[in-house]
């Protein structure tokens, strides 16, 4: 039987985050997530969705004619079929990335895929779900992302980054939680601490607001 995946949406947009920021990118949003971060902007992907075969997903992705594909959610790795999907996208020649919550083992992901792994801060409400074993698996071109909701979150993340020597292993991204922390404040905190992390904002939200399918 063909591999099937439950999808909330597939769309073409501009990558708003991480190293691939700015590239036209096809987003494949898988349905479902076992976490409930308080700032979640994709709660519409928790339930519902539509079943696609792997071949149907590849057809839809190809129809957009983009080089970059981002597999996201929800939590995409919560569906086992995400692993063969990632491999199939790499085989088809795309530059593939995955955005994952950090709560699930990332080791089965095809090594051609760039993994962007969250570390959940205390104010996300999901800190207990962090799977720190994932950090040791990341290559230098891969990324750990902290969404910062408060000054307390910043201090927690700063201490975490230093304790784990994360900047020596991979790229570390700090992003202000949308409408919870001023980007300017977070940028200043990073500068003041001389913290070797990359500040980023969610570019797509500055372009289009908090709109699904963008």
- Is 39 annotated as contributing to ligand binding? yes
Question: Least CB distance from residue 88 to ligand SF4, whole Å?
Answer: 23
- Is 82 annotated as contributing to ligand binding? no
Question: Least CB distance from residue 37 to ligand SF4, whole Å?
Answer: 3
CB 160 within 8 A of CB 186: no
- Rounded to an integer, what distance in angstroms lies between the CA atom of residue 31 and that of residue 42? 10
58 vs 200 by CB, closer to ligand SF4: 200
CB 98 within 8 A of CB 79: no
Question: Least CB distance from residue 65 to ligand SF4, whole Å?
Answer: 27
Dihedral, 130, 131, 133, 134 alpha carbons, nearest 10: -90
58 vs 71 by CB, closer to ligand SF4: 71
Cis geometry, peptide bond prior to residue 74 (ω within 30 degrees of 0): yes
Q: How many CB atoms lie within 10 A of CB 25?
A: 25
- Would you tell me which residues interact with ligand SF4 (CB under 6 A)? 33, 35-37, 40, 42, 73-75, 101
- Is 14 annotated as contributing to ligand binding? yes
Helix (H) or strand (E) holding 51: strand 50-53
- Is 15 annotated as contributing to ligand binding? yes
Question: Least CB distance from residue 123 to ligand SF4, whole Å?
Answer: 12
- Rounded to an integer, what distance in angstroms lies between the CA atom of residue 120 and that of residue 171? 16
Q: How many CA atoms lie within 13 A of 82 on its CB side?
A: 31
Question: Least CB distance from residue 168 to ligand SF4, whole Å?
Answer: 26
58 vs 142 by CB, closer to ligand SF4: 142
Binding site feature residues for [4Fe-4S] cluster = 33, 37, 40
Binding site feature residues for S-adenosyl-L-methionine = 39-41, 74
Binding site feature residues = 14-16, 29, 33, 37, 39-42, 72, 74
């Amino acid at each position: 039987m063909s591999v099937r995946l439950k999808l909330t949406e597939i769309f073409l947009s501009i990558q708003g985050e991480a190293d691939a920021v700015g590239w036209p990118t096809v987003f494949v949003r898988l349905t479902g997530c076992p976490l409930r971060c308080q700032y979640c902007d994709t709660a519409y992907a928790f339930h519902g969705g539509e079943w696609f075969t792997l071949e149907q997903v590849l057809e839809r992705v190809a129809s957009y004619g983009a080089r970059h594909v981002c597999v996201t959610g929800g939590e995409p790795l919560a569906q086992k079929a995400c692993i063969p999907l990632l491999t199939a996208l790499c085989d088809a020649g795309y530059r593939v990335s995955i955005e994952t919550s950090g709560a699930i083992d990332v080791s089965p992901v095809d090594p051609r895929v760039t993994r962007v792994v969250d570390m959940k801060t205390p104010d996300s409400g999901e800190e207990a779900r962090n799977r720190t074993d994932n950090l040791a698996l990341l290559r230098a071109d891969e990324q750990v992302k902290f969404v910062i909701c408060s000054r307390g979150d910043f201090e927690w993340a700063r201490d975490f980054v230093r304790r784990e020597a994360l900047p020596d292993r991979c790229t570390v991204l700090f992003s202000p939680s949308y409408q919870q922390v001023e980007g300017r404040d977070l940028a200043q905190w990073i500068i003041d601490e001389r913290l070797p992390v990359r500040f980023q904002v969610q570019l797509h939200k500055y372009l289009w607001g908090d709109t699904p399918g963008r």
